[in-house]
Chain A
Amino acid sequence: MTCSTSSASSLDTSAQFQENNGQTQSTRWDEQQKVFALEQVCGVFRVDLGQMRSLRLFFSDEACTCGQLVVASRESQYKIFHFHHGGLDKLSEVFQQWKYCTETHLKDQQLTDEKTCMQFSIRRPKLPSSETHPEENTYKRLDVSAWLHHLNGSGQVEEEYKLQKAIFFGGIDISIRGEVWPFLLHYYSYESTSEEREALRLQKRKEYFEIQEKRLSMTPDEQKDFWRKVQFTVDKDVVRTDRSNQFFRGENNPNVETMRRILLNYAAFNPTIGYSQGMSDLVAPLLAEVLDESDTFWCFVGLMQNTIFISSPRDEDMEKQLMYLRELLRLMHPRFYQHLSSLGEDGLQMLFCHRWILLCFKREFPEAEALRMWEACWAHYQTDYFHLFICVAIVVIYGDDVIEQQLPTDQMLLHFSNLAMHMNGELVLRKARSLLYQFHLLPRIPCSLHDLCKLCGTGMWDSGFIPAVECSGHHPESESCPYGGLAEVSSPKPGSEGKRGLKTRDVFAFRK
């Protein structure tokens, strides 16, 4: 099968198609390079069908083997592939069987046996309205005027819950991110007045430069140790972080140096956490929105303190996250959970989602979409673990193949890492919001998920309704369920009276 391509469009189609030499703006270019290099080796190309509108086949011979494949984007740009020596029939078979395509019949299509054209439209994953949060679409993106509406005369946020809810559903307009993020990241308190914030900024700036001063005046021994433990890695990481972002692009970009200083100062400020790889991925977008060095630093401090999922990626934290996620999957997507269980311990480790959690989806979605997810998580609306609902949403939307093909652990990792940068972030977010809503409606929850909303004030059952807690039975340290859950199945394993053994139903008191 020989195939040549030609473009027919008023615009440069190479910008829309990922081909051997094409470029896309949306994909991060290092990922893209990886893809291109692979494609050159394998002699393949790819088109993101999610961005396309239709596929049409025009046959030029009676046998329907030669002709053209025309791929049309939603902006009515066309890519034409010529099949001079057959093969088009095979392609049409593939399209006919492929679940992401639907054959659509053209108007005035010839009724004779002779086929000259076939058309397929692209099926996009959709959420039926029954599966969306009932309050979906009730909030617009938070723009300047809406933001000012949330502030009173002295610049205090009037009702923080309302603001958080608005951000959770609608996100924040790019123009005011730098202004609002510091609240979400606990740098500014919601009660602070504009005046107080200005004073805080000045004071914090002074503090920041004192931290830097201290870092720069280390003894030679300390310096050596710091270089080895922190600086060496930071130096190598900052130059390869988000360089395709306009803000960090180009040689000797001063913003890269600023990012470097922030990370070094953070490690000096908090030596127990120091620097761990991935932090640069998290600080870069903050700097690009907040702009001021000291402000960014303190926002980052807040981020590291208040977002459990990245602040301390120690084994036990990660284990806890994974345990919650497993339980959520068991509850909300039993088929997938069953598949994981069938793979045993390896499957339940859920390797495929570790990076999702560690970097909060930064490498799974184009930045614009990833930052929407960050904001939705930072809003701490009804739960501190919204990121886990996003994980479940990804699995619900993109995990069917895993179950159908019974993919083993490694193939599952491959499946999801191939999906990175090709998923629909907006859809995932909407699904995640609806999953949270469904969780909210559950009449009973397993005690393993009891703490899922412990840290965020009244939590998700603020309307007064409290679900029954059901003991899922694994309390190695205590004889009875520390959450007062009633055991349904077998009684928990006997063991020594643990620290938490004495807690009973009064844990629920905070909700009343």
Chain B
Amino acid sequence: AVTVAGAGAAPRGSPEASLDPDHLYNVLFVGDSHVGKTSFLYRLHADTFNPHLTATVGLDYQVKNVVVDNKRFALRLWDSAGQERYHSITKQFFRKADGVVLMYDITSEYSFSDVRYWLSCIQEGAEDGVAILLLGNKTDCAAARQVPTKEGERLAEEHQLMFFECSAASGHNVFESMVSLIRLLKVREDELKNKAEEVPKPPQKKKGCCW
């Protein structure tokens, strides 16, 4: 069937999508299944909570346009399936990611202990300068909390990650954490640019062993 939606492959989301962004980042969402990656993205996009989202199978993709500090940012958000199925794909995306959002569920100790596993995946697959945001989701379920905020903070400090607790259900810290990630991504990008500008200065030896 011909549909309005399908005909032009119009990017999902706001009309701003057609505007040229100043900066464009690939952000990959990882973490155990059921920690709320898809719900978080749904909140980010539609600003509501949908408790009936089905388990992600394969890889989903959205584009989100945000204006931060008077600059237009386009985020390419890649939502991965929490359960390992087709590992080589996720690996491939680690390599391309400018940022990774690593999510756990504060009501599930297991999801938190798996953070280390995911970190090792990132370390193995992603570029060195990748910006990592650690997110403890589901703060609305305070009564069921199993992972104290301190634990999350400690882990983030240990691995030098940006850290937030949030709730896709209530909206708490959803936008705030993304804005912080965007600023961090911008800083990293600027650093890289500066590096790139500095590099050509020393005489270029192709087989130099000085570094």
Grouping DSSP codes into helix (H, G, I), strand (E, B) and loop, the A interface class, with mixed when no group exceeds half, is: helix
Q: Is the CB–CB distance between B2 and A358 below 8 Å?
A: no
Q: Which chain B residues in 61-114 approach chain A with CB under 8 Å?
A: 61-63, 76, 81-83, 85-89, 92, 110
Docked Cα-Cα span, A419 to B9, in Å, equals 8
Q: How many residues of B contact A (CB 8 A)?
A: 46
Docked Cα-Cα span, A92 to B63, in Å, equals 30
Q: Is the CB–CB distance between B57 and A278 below 8 Å?
A: yes
Which of A35-43, A204-212, A333-341 is the interface stretch?
Answer: A35-43
Contact of A240 among B5, B7, B52, B86 (CB under 8 A): B52
Residues of A within 8 A of B46 (CB): 34, 37-38, 40-41
Which of B12-20, B159-167, B201-209 is the interface stretch?
Answer: B12-20
Docked Cα-Cα span, A30 to B4, in Å, equals 19
Among residues of B, the one whose C-beta sits closest to the C-beta of A51 is B1
Among residues of B, the one whose C-beta sits closest to the C-beta of A35 is B5
Docked Cα-Cα span, A232 to B110, in Å, equals 11
Q: Is the CB–CB distance between B83 and A277 below 8 Å?
A: yes
Task: Indicate whether A414 sits within 8 Å of B50 (C-beta atoms), given known contacts A42-B13, A277-B81.
Answer: no
Task: Indicate whether A422 sits within 8 Å of B48 (C-beta atoms), given known contacts A277-B33, A355-B58, A358-B85.
Answer: no
Which of A117-125, A261-269, A373-381, A490-498 is the interface stretch?
Answer: A117-125
Docked Cα-Cα span, A358 to B33, in Å, equals 17
Docked Cα-Cα span, A67 to B45, in Å, equals 34
Residues of A within 8 A of B54 (CB): 30, 240-241, 281, 363
Contact of B8 among A51, A346, A401 (CB under 8 A): A401
The reply to whether the CB of A411 lies closer than 8 angstroms to some CB of chain B is yes
Among residues of B, the one whose C-beta sits closest to the C-beta of A239 is B52
Docked Cα-Cα span, A280 to B12, in Å, equals 28
Task: Indicate whether A315 sits within 8 Å of B87 (C-beta atoms), given known contacts A38-B45, A423-B6.
Answer: yes
Chain A, residues 85-121, CB within 8 Å of chain B (1/0): the string is: 0000000000000101000000000000000000000
Task: Indicate whether A124 sits within 8 Å of B2 (C-beta atoms), given known contacts A41-B14, A233-B83, A418-B12.
Answer: yes
Q: Is the CB–CB distance between A37 and B48 below 8 Å?
A: yes
Q: Is the CB–CB distance between A414 and B34 below 8 Å?
A: no
Docked Cα-Cα span, A34 to B51, in Å, equals 11
Among residues of B, the one whose C-beta sits closest to the C-beta of A346 is B92
Give min CB distance, B106 to chain A, whole Å: 16
Docked Cα-Cα span, A413 to B26, in Å, equals 14
Docked Cα-Cα span, A355 to B56, in Å, equals 9
The reply to whether the CB of B47 lies closer than 8 angstroms to some CB of chain A is yes
List 28 A-B residue pairs with CB atoms under 8 Å apart, sorted by A's residue number: A37-B50, A38-B12, A38-B46, A40-B46, A41-B46, A42-B13, A46-B5, A47-B4, A48-B1, A48-B4, A49-B1, A50-B2, A123-B2, A233-B33, A237-B55, A240-B55, A243-B52, A278-B57, A280-B55, A315-B88, A351-B59, A354-B59, A355-B58, A358-B58, A410-B76, A413-B61, A414-B63, A424-B1
Which residues of A are at the interface with B, using a C-beta cutoff of 8 A? 29-30, 33-35, 37-38, 40-42, 46-51, 98, 100, 122-125, 228, 232-233, 236-237, 240-241, 243, 276-278, 280-281, 313, 315, 318-319, 346, 349, 351, 354-355, 358-359, 363, 398, 401-402, 405, 407, 410-411, 413-415, 417-419, 422-424
Which residues of B are at the interface with A, using a C-beta cutoff of 8 A? 1-15, 33-34, 42, 45-48, 50, 52-63, 76, 81-83, 85-89, 92, 110
The 10 residue pairs across chains A and B that have the minimum distance between CB atoms: A50-B1, A37-B46, A415-B9, A355-B58, A422-B3, A354-B58, A419-B6, A277-B55, A100-B2, A277-B83
